[in-house]
Amino acid sequence: MLGFLEESEGKTFTREEILQALTELTSQQDFVLNPDKEKVELLMMGMVENETNHGLKYCPCRMTTENFEEDLKLVCPCNFKIQKVWREQGECWCTLFVRRKNES
C-alpha cells in the first residue's frame, strides 16, 4: 500500500493522476474504486485539499493528530483491510474502495 506514497513523495499530483494511480492500484486487487464517481471525486478533492493544507494525501474522512508518525497511517490508501468496516461491509472507512464483486 505504501508504493503510492513513496512514488508521490515531493510531487503534487492532479486529481486525474490520482484517479489513474488509484485505478491502477486496484487492477490486481480484491477491491475496486467505488462505482459512485461523484463520491470518488469528492473524496479525491478532500485528499488534494489535505495535501495542500497538511502536506500529504491524508484520508479525506479522518482527522490528523499532528503526530507525524501516527498520521502516516492516515495517508491514502491506508491499511484499510484491518478495519472492522472492511471485514463486515467490504469497504474502506470512507467507501473510496469497495470489495470487488465476483465477475463470474
* Residue among 13 and 43 whose Cβ is closer to ligand SF4: 43
Three-state DSSP class for residue 91: strand
Buried b (16+ CB within 10 A) or exposed e, 45-68: ebbbebbeeeebbbbbeeebeeee
* Residue among 71 and 92 whose Cβ is closer to ligand SF4: 92
* β-strand pairing of 31-33 with 97-99: antiparallel
Q: How far is the CB of 104 from ligand SF4 (least distance, A)?
A: 26
Only one of the segments 9-17, 25-33, 48-56, 58-66 lies at the binding site for ligand SF4 (rule: CB under 6 A); that segment is 58-66
* Residue 92 found at the interface with ligand SF4 (CB under 6 A): yes
